[in-house]
Structures are given as structure tokens and as C-alpha cells.
Structure 1
Amino acid sequence: MEKADSSRRASKNQPNPLPVLAILAKDVGELALKEKRMFSPILKRWHPLAAGVAVATLHVCYGNEIKQFIAGITELTPDAVQVLRAAEKLEKDLVQIAVEDSVDSDDGGKAIIREMPPFEAEAAIANLVKMWIKTRVDRLKEWVDRNLQQEVWIPIENEGYAPSAVEVLRIFDETLDAYFQLPIPMHPAVLPDLIAGLDRCLQYYITKAKSGCGARNTFIPTLPGLTRCTIGSKFQGFGKKKEKSPIPPKRNSQVGTVNGDNAFGVQQLCVRINTLQRIRGELEVLEKRIITHLRNSESAHVEDFSNGLEKKFELSPPACVEGIQQLCETVAYKIVFHDLSNVLWDDLYVGELSSSRIDPFIEELEKNLLIISNTVHERVRTRIITDIMRASFDGFLLVLLAGGPARAFSRQHSQIIEDDFKALKDLFWANGDGLPSELIDKFSTTVRSVLPLFRADTESLIERFRRATLETYGSSARSKLPLPPTTGQWSPTEPNTILRVLCSRNDEAASKFLKKTFNLPKKL
């Protein structure tokens, strides 16, 4: 201890004086080597494991001090790391001397080693690092909460994504830099804990970024009850006021506002999409940066690079993909069923078809597509436009099959309907500059398969309906045809789909069949 005091006084005169226990560890190590070199060879005459006994005694003495020190540590500091690393080195040196001294003993020195309970210095450092990681991650999560409350999803100029994402990624960089600057001997060992913490934090940001935006079903309207057409003259008598046909009820939009601005408008939703896409791309950059940090770390070994999975973010990338998918679908169905409901759900084919065709819907949809194309990230552009196409096809088919008593079709209208659908497809084809024709064909399959039903005569539709119902319900449907439930799985062989075409068929035969078979009303 006198030597340690002398070393401590000398250390105080240095620019970065060593902590006392670090000095003591160094001095104990030197004392052990001196013991082994000078005294143990002589003492072996009386004890075969003289050096082992000596270092075991020194180990116990220093162990008492270091364990008290470890018990009092509350945070990771340079002094604490210095002491613990010095203790770890001392322990390795003492154990090595004991093993070498016991090489010829019957048990290979196991008895001596049992008298040297581990300092657990490395475990103490690891625990301190984990505490450091937890503090950083908790602080980052608080920051995410605070900034997302203020986020209005207005993009950074010329960038297209949210400022909060830039800050999150910047703090991630700073946290990684700070971690690899820690004076610890186990960067690779504890790194998975840090990555897992950052991963959870980023997943939390992604979840918050997409929350409250709605989904596909948020915007699809409630389907009206089944009715049959009113058969009669299309012309009103002179002096009579034309009654407006009832419009199917629309589902209320589940969107909100933040600070008086619509944080869930189409452009804001596109900013959210761009933000998740930016995060998705930056995660790959972060993973490469982590590998670079590891290569520059003195504590890294070749085997630390063999298992790349531990250096990867596992939760955030799929959360980004899922979030982008959900938001793209939300944008698509919001545009079609909410923003353009007046020209689709309220007006398309209401009353006289020749004056209520699809042109107004296509014009408004084209404006929205232009905004989307100029706003959303290029890597997501095809996906979101495809979703808008799918939503518009769904909307078109929903008007035909679930448009309510405001709409009535005859066989002669089938050509108008087919021409309108072709015009809708052409919007997305854009003379070859839009979506691939294979993609358009894929998503238009259902509509194309159903449209021939509107061209079929009423008698064949009734027969087709009977046959499809019998195939679905079996012999129990022979005596009385059951009313098929609405599944939403539209198909020319599905009973409910065929029934809905009959409901909108503007002729006497269809009306009589529906009245006799199901007693359907003419009005809701």
C-alpha cells in the first residue's frame, strides 16, 4: 500500500491522473511478478504451490477492495472504466501465474483457482454500458414523443420528408459515435443491446408516424340495402318536380386535424410515406456505418464480423415496409372514396347515364395523380399509383353493384359502362408512360369479369343466379332460393354479385323476379 500511495502521488502530477484502485492493481501485479521471480522458487521447498498461494492471497486482498468499488458504481465514467479494466488485467495476470505454478500438480491448479473468486470486472463494465444504453434510448424515446406532438408533416424544402425524421437519424448517428468512443473493451459484445434499443425506438417513431391515418376500410362507404328498380318512363310530367334519388350513405371520414391544419391530408400523408422511405434507406447506411465503427474498434475480432445479423435492425425495416403499404393504401382510398366521393359515389351513373358518365371523376383523379407524382418519393411512386388504380377500380365496381336505387342500368347501357372503364384504365396507361399494361390487366381482372353480366339478358341472369345459388347452397335451395349474403368477393359466378346486377336491371322481368323471390322494395 505504501508503494501504491507513492504511485498515486506521482500520478497526481500527470495530466490525467490514474484512479487509486487502478494504481493499486498495477502495483499488485508488479508485486505478484516479483513474488514469482524472487521468493516463490525458494518457498517451493516448503510448499509446492508457493506462487499460487501468494497470488491467491493477493487476489483476495484486491478483490475485497474492487467488490466494494463495484457495489458503489452508479454510472459509466472514465475513472470507473479505468479501474475495472485494470482489475480485469490484474486478475488475468494472477490467474496465469497460478496456472503456470500448478502445471505439475495433481489437479492442474483447480484448487488454487477455486480460492480466487472472479472480480466480475468485465460484467460490471457490461452492466454499466447497458445502463448507459438504456439512458440514451429512453432519452431518445422521450424526444420522439415530444417532437411528434409538434410534427405537422410539412416537408423540408426540396426534400419531401418530415424534419423530425432528420433529427431522429442525426441523434442515432451521435449515439453510435458516442458508443464507440466509450473506453470499454467489449464494443462488439454489447453492441446488439444498443442496436436493439435504437431499433425499438425507431419502430416506435414509425408506428406513431402512421397512427391515426386510417386504412382502406376507413373510407369505403357503407353499402345500402338491396332494392329493385322502379320501372317506368324516364320523363317527368310537365309541372312535376323531379325527385332526387336517394344517395347511399357515406362512411364518415376518420381523420383529424392538428393545430388547425389537416395533418391527414393527401400531401401530408405523402410526406409520411416519404419519411418512412427515407428511414428505410438510412437504415442500410447506419448498418454499414456500424461495421466501419467495428473495424476501427480495438476490441473487435474477426469473429465479430461473421454474424452480421447482430449488427442489423430487425424491427424497423419491416415496420417501414408495412407503414408505407398502409399509408399508400390509405391515400388511394381516401382520394377515391372521400376526396372524390362527389364525382364518384354521389354522381356517377345517377339518373340518366349519358349525363352522368365517368369523365368528371377521371378529370379530378388526374389532378390528384399529378400531385402525388410530384410529391411522393420516386421509389414509392409506382406502388401508390397502383393502389390508387386499385381503389378506383373498386370504386367503379362498387357503384355498379352497390350504388343503390339511385342507379338503374339496361342492357343498352353496357357499352357505355365498358367504354367508361376503358377510359379509366387508359388514365393509368397514359399512352405507355404510366403503369405497365400487365399491372393494369392484373388489377382490372375482377371488373372485366363482372362487366359481361351487364350485357347479358335478364332471363339468362336469373338462370345464372339460380344455378350459382344451387351450387353454393345445394339441394336445400331448390324449394326456396335463399338471399345470398354480401361477401364483397365480386365474381360473375358469385350469387350476390349476380343478384346485385339484377337489382340494378331496369326491366320488368328483373323487378318481378326480385319481388316474388325476395320481396325486395323499390326504395330504401
Structure 2
Amino acid sequence: MGTPFLLERYRRDRRNLLEFLFSEGLIRAPSRTSIDLAGLDLDSISADYVLDCLESGEEFDPSEATRRYFDGLKYPIMLNSSSTNSYYFVSEPEISGSPPRRAAPRLSSGMKITTNGTSSQVAKHDNLIGRDVGISGESRTKGVATADEPSRLLEDKDILSLGLPGLSTGISDDEIRETAYEVLLACLFCGGKVHFPEEMKKEKKTNFLKGLRSKREGLSSFPVPEDSHSDFLDIIRVQMEISEATNAFIRKGSRLSNLREMNEQIDVPCISLNLISVLYKLDFPSERLRMQWQRRQANILEELLGSVNMDSKMRETLQILLRKLRSIEEKVSDVYDGFFEILSLIKRYASKLSSMPGKYGFQSKAYYRTASYQFNIKLYEKLLYSVFDILEDGKILEEADEMLEVYEFTWSTLGITQKLHNVLYAWVLFQQFIKTGEFLLLKLAVLEMQKVLSHKNDEGTEEAYISSLICSVESYGSKRFLCLVDAIFFKIYLWCCYQLEDYHLHFAQEKSAIFGSVVNLAVLTQTTSADECAENKYFGSMAGNIPEWKLFHFFIVKSIQAAFKRACSLAENQSSVELKHPLAIVAHELKQVAEKEYTAFYPVLCQKYPKSGKLAFILLHLLYGERLKPFLEGLTHLSESVKEVLAASNTLELCLAHKLSSIYGDNVDSSATKYVHPYQISHYCAPLVLQWIHAQHDNILEWTKRAVEIEDWEPLSSQQRQAKSAVEVFRIVEETVDQFFSSNLPMDIIHLRSLLIGIVRSLEAYLLHIVNQQVDVTMLYPSTPALTRYAESIYPFMKKKFVQLTTLEEKMTFQLNTLTGPKLCVKLNTLHYIRDQLDTLEDTIKHSWNLVQSGFGLADYFSRISNGKSSVDVNVNLSACNGSVDELFALFDNVRRGAVTTSKMMLDFIGPRVIFWDMRDSFLFSLYRSSVNSARLEIFIPLLDQVLDRICDLIIDELRDQVVLKIFQASMDGFIWVLLDGGPSRAFSEADVPLMQEDLAMLKELFIANGQGLPFDVVEKEARLARQILDLFALKADTIIEMLVSASEQTAYHLKPTTGGRSCANDAQTLLRVLCHKKDGSASEFLKMHYQLPKSSDYDDIPSKEERTSTSPILSDIFRDGRSIGGGIS
């Protein structure tokens, strides 16, 4: 309610401002004269033109102002500001999409440009024909033209024109609108449904007098009539854009006329003649408006009275009378009699026509229902259009139902029946839907059409009358003459055909509800079979003889063909820009078409045509297959463009197979199987894919070798402690795997096996390079000094003997120097990283392969359809395939085992590397040298602690305990080496044992690290042998000799140096070495007598880092024979 009144207030303010500008003399009048406001229609002049005259000082031209006003109605509303110009769209710009890329078409030389200044509703239709009514799909955003046939249809004919007979006088839409309002007021006034203010006062006075009389006479008073429809008249006036001034003189004319006193059916000529006879110059706000109104009434009379078949003399007389009526400017005294004489003659002529016998069972006074039906229909259309909000065309007023009830009072005057009302209201709703795209309007139009179809004719009378309302329509190159109802049905059907023949273009996916209503509307209005539209080239037998099936069969084929043409056109335009093969782009576009068909259109179409999905998807498959076949036959190698096409084609075929299978399974009509030709992508690309994989083998292996050869074995970062070469290798592997699975090409287990073999080869080459860099761990142990017996030096300055040693090769020394503790930590981290990444890679490949397997059941779907076979048991095939895949991944187990073996070898190496190579000077060759007191272990502990901190910073948490344990084991081996193979400079007394036990406990505490290091029980287990050896040094020499004799009698032995291996504390070798390093005279005598060992004072055992392990040359012959201690004493 508020919006129409707000609009009217704006118009009133506009008139007040214009009156102020003119009254103040701010606007120059022609020839320096004043401007007569009485002769100006302020509602019909351009405000922009007035402001231009005010700014430039030009003279004001009323005709130019009017022309500018009507011309402006054809363009969007503009707002001019200092920064830019803004304008309002009539439609929603978001729905229209982006602007087209193609250039605008040239204006044809034969095209007529309309400069008419009227706000004609019919003129607007030209811009609405073919509009996507706010539901356009994907192709508009890509600037691709629509299919040819519907476009030609819209260029040739105006679908939204009913083809009613033309109006000979050229009455404009605005004049028809004002006439419709006059007829409505006249009908309401004549029927007593509305009262005007003056009449209300008169009736109140009469009723008051009657009331007084009734009181005196004892009678009840008559009630005051209620003006039940006057409230809606203000809404209707605003909706029909009738100004207050115009409304005022029309109301006055209706009140002053004698229509209510007429006891007969009124008609439009009667209304017009009565208004002319009672309205004078002073009743109009301006002379210009009066002249326009009078000419309009004359045109109406000419239109209605001149449509009768009459002789030429009568027609000429009527035209003379109407011409005079137009030329009379005022009913002044000198022409008064002539005016009414002319008016009287016209009235008699109109009365004579209206009294002619009625047709089709109608009573008299109904002549104009059929004689001028086209004019009456246009008038009623204007009334119906007023139910739409003038500020928002897509909305219907809340008072629409009440307004339609008011309009029923015009039915008898305009010849409208219930059926005609329903069909015309449906037509108006339908046109407004096309203009605005408002879904509610379409739903209401469908309901009105259903009412028309369910309407029962009144014994043929109404049907005969409606059949006389003839319209001329064009249909596929031929002209037809249909009654009004059939013409509306046919026009709506033609529009639905245009939309549905390319529904992929005209309907967006989110507008499926609109699509469903258009489908229902097409079914309701179907007047032409599909056979008359075009020949069904594809799958014609699928639809059978059911007309509705044939219709939608035709729509689906046309729309799919149009979508395919757009995809091909788009591919040609974009292939050079995107550097892609056109077939790949076409396949991608058709996949989107299939998805849209499945989600948006099939649920609606299948209700009307159960085979719609089958037809659409098989047709898509067929059309693309015809383009793809020549390409496949010319394949020779797998280039990037070829791979794109094969992948896109395979994806499209799987997509179509999935859609068909989910809807129909394998139940496809035999009539369609002849159109199914599988692409056989796997047949063409299988050898090409295998060739590509083999090429990737060499590529990965080359990159792997290059990466590992330049590796410096430094950690990648503090968080990523593995070598960067391993990261690079797995990056290359993962890229290859991604390319393999993202290719979307059909593949089988042979391709997967070849891929895995290439990965395993590269990783094995990486591990082999690490192994080849390793050195035998025995090279780390120092040479064993000569075994001697303890003896004090008598001559300190006597020249001492040196044990003959073997030095390491320079190459071996270089390798040992490169295998530092930090680098070994990085290698261990890298081997662990390889195992983790291998597990991740396996899971990734299995997951991707499972996704590939999910399409195995669809890969041969079209082949089964074409051969008429049933579906295979996919689950059985998948189970067998999964078993084979698990066997293939056993190849990765070889890499895992290799990584574990290499890690174990490096763990065994890192401990001796730290203790026996890096710290031999500070530990092996310094500890307890000369005496225990002067070279305790506490000197060595801080250095070892630094080494452990450095290693713990580099090694990952998962390997830390293993590496620290190996270093602790090597520390124990080094400690035992000092005790048993320490050389001539080391001799221990029983008093030294407590000190050495303290040193052992200190070393254990270092590795336990207050519970943060190795477990206590593990440390105790590893230190047990060292503790037992210290216990032997605490025994008396005689006791040890007895233990040695007993051990030598029980086993035969060969004396060997200790090289890091573990031995028993009670075996002969350990006992013998304890005696050799025991500072005791009896032990020295025993060794001299039985083993002839030289004195320790005769030898010097200072070694160098280049020494390698060697056996003492002095004792080699003694232990070669394996003699026992008892055998040596004879």
C-alpha cells in the first residue's frame, strides 16, 4: 500500500518544482512571452530538458520537452554525479553473467529503428523475445552463440504477439491504458459499486430526509450505501499511472453522465460518447490535455464504429463526423449547436449498431463484444497488468485478488468470460515472467492454464463466442488462424519450445524449479507434435508413438546437439589461448553438460519421459565419439596434448557410464545399442602408457644418481635431519606417481607393476651408493701391542724395541675420515626417512589404485551395452586384483630390508668410529698409561659427553637410544682393550683396582644420565664383562694362574687379539692377558717360563692413527700350534 502512494507523492513534488521554475520566470519562453502553465502537461515534459534550458538560457520548446520525455522512457534511469554516471538495470545484472567476448553484430540496413515516444508495452516485447528470463545457463558467460534454428525463429516472428487484428487508428498503449481506466470507472459507477464525493453528499441528504419521514411514519430508515470498492480505486489509479488531474475529470465525467440511469448494457462507445458530452474545457487542467483526450475519444469511436462492414457512403459520413469532432476546440456558443448535432448523429449511429441482434446466444446490446474484440481484449489486458507492482515488476500486489474482483464488473462491457479471464490472466502472468524471471509468476500462470483446461463450456455458447475471436499466428513458415485461447496456448507453447530446445543454455542449474514449471507448461499447451517440428535423427524409435514422449525426445536431442555445438565452438576459440587440444576442451565441457543434465534436468524430464537420461547420455557419448575416432586412429606417441585428450575422453566416458549405470543399470533398449560405440581408450593408450612409464624409469634413476653423488650428508634443517638428496628422490618419485594416477588414463596391473619396479630400482641404487661409501669396521680398531710380562726397567736409557705395524692405505684413510659421526647420523636419519616415506608412498599408491579400481566396473560398460552382455561381478574382479596388487608391493619389502641392513651396518660402525678412531688418542692411548693415578677416566669423560651431545642433536629421536647404546658398547670395548691389550706401558696392581672400578662406575653414570639416557639394566648388562675383568685383577696371581691352567686343559685355543668382539672373563685368552698386565713377580715368572714372553721394559708401544689391526709377531708362532699350558712345561 505504501509504495504506490509514495510514487504518487514523488510525482506531485515533481510537478510543484516545475511549476515553481516556470512561475518565477527562470525559464525563457519563445518570443519573450510568458509560458501558459494551463496548456502544459507537467507529467509529460522532460525535467532534464527544463534543467538544460535553465542552465544554458535557451528558449523552452514544449514539443521538444514532450519528445525528450517519451524518448527517455526507452532508456534506463540515470544518475549524473561529478565522479561518474550511474544507471539502474531493468533486469538483474548478476543473472546476465559477464559481457560477451564477441563483437556486437552490425545493424542491418533494412532494419527499421523505432523512435516512437510512447511507452508501449508491445514495443517492450521486442527486447524480451529470446531473453533468457533471468535463467540463462553457462554458455552465456562464455560468449558462445545459441543454436541456429531457435535464433532464426525469434528473428522472424514475435512469439509474444498474439496476432490480434490491428488497430486502424494507431491508438497507443498509453491511450489504451487511460481508456481502460475510464471503462472501469464507468462500469463500477453504472453498477452502483462506487460513489463519488458529490454524489455521496446528495445521497446522504436524500437518506436523511427519508429517515425523518420514516420516523414520522414509523418506518425504518434506509442504510447509507457503503463505498466498498473506492479504496481499491486509488491503488488501481496509481498502478495504471493515471494522474490525479486526469482521474478528477474522468470521475466528474462518469458522475455527470447518465450511465446509471440507462436500463441497458453499456458498451465502450456509449461510455466514450457520454464523457464527451458532459466534460468541458474548465474540467481539464490544460488545453493541451483536453485536446489530446478529445482526439483519443474520437479515435476510439472510429476504431469501434468503423470496424463494421458498411457501405462506403456510411463510412465516409462517419469519418466526416469524427473529423469534425476532432477539430472542435471548444463548445462555445457559436459552435455549441453544431457540436451536439455531431455528437447526436454519432450516438444514433452507435445505438443502431449496438441494438443489432446478438450472436452466439448473447442478448442484445452485445454487438461490440465480437465486432471490436481486439480492442476490448487490449483494454482488459491493461487492467490485468495493473496487478503488478509498478516499482517492482516481478511482484504482485497483495490486493491483487480484490482488484481482479473489481475488474469482473467490466466483463459484460468488454465481452470477457471466466475462461477468457483465466487465459488472459495466464498470458499476462506469463509475459511478466519472461520480463522479470520471477518464478512465482510462472507458477501462477501454470495454475491459470490448468483452470482453462478444466473449464466446462456452457452448452457450446461460450465456445462458439471464443472461436470467433480470431488471431493470426506464424508457425514454422506458415500462417494459421486460431481463436484467442488457442493462440495464447500456441504462443506459450512456442516459447516453451524455444527454451526447451536448448534448455542447457536457457536454464541455470540452480533454476531447476523454473525448468520444471516450463516443462509442465509445455505439456499443458502442447498443440504441435514433435514430428511437425523436426525429424528425429537419433533414437527415434525410443519414444514410440506416445506424443508426450516424442515431444521430450525432440527437446532432449535438440538441446544436447546445441550444447555439443557450443562446446565445439568454445574449444576452437580457447584452444589457442589455453594451449590445449580442442578435443580435451570439448570433453571437459561435455562432462559439465552431463553433470548438469543428471542433477538439474533428468529428475524433471524422467517424470515426463522415462528414457530421457538414457537418450541424453548415449547421445553425448555418440556425438563426442564421432569427433574422437579419427584422432585415436592417428595416435603414434604419448605427447602432453595426446595425454590430455585421452584423459579427458576417458573421464567423460566413465562419467557417462556412471550416470547411465546409476539410473538404468545394464537395461538399455536394443534400439539404442546400435548407437553405442565404445571409445576403447585402453586399447589405444595401453602401450603408450607403458612406454611413458619406461621413460620415467630412466628419468628417476638419473635424478637419483645425480642427487646422491653430490650429497654432502648435512641435515636439511634442525627439524628435518635427513639428507636433502633423499627428499629430492622422493619428490621425483611422488611427482611421477601423481602424473601416473592424475593422467585419468585407463590402466591395468601391468602398468602398476612397471611403475613399482622403476621406484624400487631408484631406491636400491640410492642404498647401494650408501653401502659403497662404508668401510669395514675392523679397520677402526688399533693394532694390538706386543704381549709382554711385567718387569721393571733396569737401564732406563736403554734403546727399546718397537712392534712391527702395518699402516692403512691412503684411500682407506680418506674414506674413514669422511665417515664422521655427524655424517653417519644424517645417513641413519635418511635411512629411517626412506622407510617412513616408503610406507607413506605405498599407502598413497594403494589408495589411488583403489580409486582406479572403482572405475573398473564402468570401464567396459559401453562395451557390454553394445554387445548386449550383462554386467560382470565387479566384486570378484576387485578381490582378485587386490590379491595381485598385494603381491606387487612385496617389491617394496626388498627396499625395506636393504634399508634395515644398511642401518644395522652403520649402527655397528658408528660406536667404534667414535671410540676407536675419533677418540683413540684421548682414550685408548692415554687411559692408565704408565700409571692409573696419573691417567684416570675423569679426563676423558667431558670429551665423551660433548660427543654424545653433538650426536643427540643430530640423530632423530627414534634412533637416539640405539646410537647411544652402540657408543656405550664401544666404550666398554675400549675400556676392556685398555685392560687386556693396553700394551707394555700398562700394568695394574691390586691397589689400582678400586680406582679403575670407580672409573667404570663414572662411565656408566654418564650414559645413564640420571634416567634421561640408557636404561640402568641395559648399562649394567653391557658393563658386566668389564666389571668381571676388574675383579680378576683384584685376585692373587697364583689364583689366576690356576684358573688359566684349568681353562687351557679344558679347551684348545688359538690366541687372538681382541678386536671389539666379546669374550668370556674366564677363558684362557682373557686370563693370559690379565697375567700379562698384572704388576706381580710370580705372574712374570710364569709367563717367562711357559710363554717365553719378553719383558715390558724392553718395548715401546706408541701407535699412530694409520695403524691397522695386527697380531703380535712375537706370539704368533706360540699360539699357532695351539699348545696347552701343561704341554709347554716339560
Q: What TM-score results when the alignment is normalised by the length of structure 1?
A: 0.70
The reply to whether residue 223 of structure 1 matches residue 802 of structure 2 is no
Match of 2:697 in 1: 137
* Whole-angstrom distance in 2 between the partners of 1:214 and 1:225: 26
Measure how far apart 1:263 and its partner are. 4.4
1:116-146 Cα offsets, whole Å, 9 max, x none, are: xxxx997986554443323212222211222
Q: Name 1:332's counterpart in structure 2.
A: 911
Deviations 1:402-423 (A, max 9, x none): 1111111122222222221111
CA distance in 1, matches of 2:843, 2:728: 19
- Give 2:1089's match in structure 1, choosing from 496, 516, 521: 516
Which whole-Å deviations, capped at 9, do the CAs of 1:456-484 have from their partners, x for residues lacking one? 111111111111111003xxxxxxxx863
More off after superposition, 280-289 vs 380-389: 280-289
Question: 1:119-518 counterparts in 2 under 5 A?
Answer: 127-158=687-718, 159-231=720-792, 252=808, 254-256=812-814, 263-297=818-852, 299=855, 302-303=878-879, 304-306=881-883, 307-311=885-889, 313-473=892-1052, 484-486=1055-1057, 488-518=1061-1091
Q: Which residue in 1 is equivalent to 2:383?
A: none
Tell me, yes or no, if the aligned pair for 2:707 and 2:728 is still in contact at 8 Å.
no
Three-state SS of the structure 2 residue aligned to 1:314 is: helix
Letter in 1 for 2:822: Q
**For residues 454 and 229 of structure 1, what CA distance do their matches in structure 2 show?**
14
Q: 1:218 to 1:132 in 2, by over 3 A?
A: farther
Task: Describe the superposition over 1:86-125 as per-residue Cα deviations: whole angstroms up to 9, x where unpaired.
Answer: 9xx9xxxxxxxxxxxxxxxxxxxxxxxxxxxxxx997986
Q: Secondary structure of 2:920's match?
A: coil
Deviation (angstroms), 1:268: 2.0
3-state SS in 2 of match to 1:451: helix
Q: Following the alignment from structure 2 to structure 1, what is the Cα–Cα distance between the partners of residues 774 and 930? A: 34
C-alpha separation in 2, matches of 1:244 and 1:131: 74
Deviates more, 1:438-447 or 1:166-175: 438-447
Determine helix, strand or coil for the equivalent of 1:356.
Answer: coil
- Which secondary structure does the structure 2 equivalent of 1:353 belong to? coil
Specify the code of the residue in structure 2 equivalent to 1:270. C
Judging changes above 3 Å, is the alpha-carbon distance between structure 1 residues 494 and 415 closer, same or farther for their aligned structure 2 residues?
same
Q: 1:328 to 1:352 in 2, by over 3 A?
A: same
Answer yes or no: is the 8 Å Cα contact 1:449–1:491 preserved in 2. no
What is the CA deviation profile of residues 314-337 of structure 1, one whole-angstrom value per residue up to 9, with x for unaligned ones? 222222222222223322211101
Task: Tell me the CA shift for residue 208 of structure 1.
Answer: 1.5
Task: Give 1:287 deviation, angstroms.
Answer: 1.2
* Residues 469 and 179 of structure 1, relative CA distance in 2, 3 Å threshold: same
- C-alpha RMSD of matched pairs (Å): 3.7
**Structure 1 unaligned regions, length at least 5:** 1-9, 20-68, 90-119, 474-481
Q: Partners in 1 of 2:935 and 2:995 — Cα distance?
A: 11
Q: Is the 8 A contact 2:786 2:984 kept in 1?
A: no
Return the alpha-carbon distance in structure 1 between the equivalents of residues 823 and 798 of structure 2.
42
2:784–2:1057 contact (8 Å) kept in structure 1: no
* CA distances 1:286-321 after superposition (whole Å, capped 9, x unpaired): 111112211222555632334534235222222222
Change (3 A) 1:486 1:12: same
- The letter for the 2-side match of 1:209 is I
Once residues 225 and 127 of structure 1 are traced to their aligned partners in structure 2, the CA distance between those partners, rounded to angstroms, is 70
Secondary structure at 2:814 match in 1? coil
Task: Please tell me whether the aligned partners of residues 161 and 271 of structure 1 are also in contact (alpha carbons under 8 angstroms).
Answer: yes
The secondary structure found in structure 2 opposite 1:256 is helix
In structure 2, give the amino acid aligned to 1:280: R
CA distance in 2 between partners of 1:442 and 1:458 (Å): 27
Question: CA–CA distance in 2 between the matches of 1:200 and 1:315?
Answer: 10
Shift of the 381–126 alpha-carbon distance from structure 1 to 2, 3 Å rule, reads same
Change (3 A) 1:289 1:495: same
Contact 2:788 2:1094 survives alignment (8 Å) = yes
Instruction: Give me the whole-angstrom Cα distance separating, in 2, the residues matched to 1:291 and 1:241.
Output: 78
- The change in CA–CA distance for 1:242 and 1:195 in structure 2 (over 3 A counts) is farther
* C-alpha displacement of 1:498: 0.8
Rate the CA distance shift 1:173–1:352 in 2: closer, same or farther, 3 A.
Answer: same
Asked if structure 1 preserves the Cα contact closer than 8 Å seen for 2:773 and 2:815, the reply is no
Contact 2:681 2:746 (C-alpha < 8 Å) held by counterparts? no
Tell me the amino acid that sits aligned with residue 256 of structure 1: F
CA contact under 8 A between 1:247 and 1:404: conserved in structure 2? no
Deviation at 1:516, TM superposition (A): 1.0
Q: Secondary structure at the match of 2:824?
A: helix
Partners of 2:986 and 2:805 in 1: how far apart?
14
Gaps (5+ residues) in structure 2? 1-564, 573-580, 585-632, 654-679, 857-876, 1100-1130
Measure how far apart 1:397 and its partner are: 0.5
Change (3 A) 1:124 1:176: same
| Cα distance per residue 1:41-71 (max 9 Å; x no partner) | xxxxxxxxxxxxxxxxxxxxxxxxxxxx99x
Shift of 1:248: 10
- CA distance in 1 between counterparts of 2:1044 and 2:797 reads 37
Alignment TM-score, normalising by the size of structure 2: 0.34
The amino acid that maps onto 1:140 is I
Q: Within 5 Å, which residues of 2 pair with 1:44-193? A: 127-158=687-718, 159-193=720-754
Distance 1:457 1:257, change over 3 A: closer
* 2:780–2:913 contact (8 Å) kept in structure 1: yes
| Separation (CA, whole Å) in 1 of partners of 2:889 and 2:721 | 29
Question: Is the 2:690–2:754 Cα contact (8 Å) retained in structure 1?
Answer: yes
TM-superposed CA distance for 1:186, in Å, is: 2.6
- 3-state SS of 1:405 partner: coil
Shift in CA distance, 175/222, structure 1 to aligned 2, threshold 3 Å = same
Structure-2 separation of matches of 1:292 and 1:179: 13
Deviation of residue 424 (structure 1)? 0.9
Look up the equivalent residue of 1:497 and give its one-letter code.
T
Question: Structure 2: which amino acid aligns with 1:502?
Answer: L
Q: Give the match for residue 56 of structure 1.
A: none
Contact map agreement 1:191 1:311 (CA 8 A) in 2: no
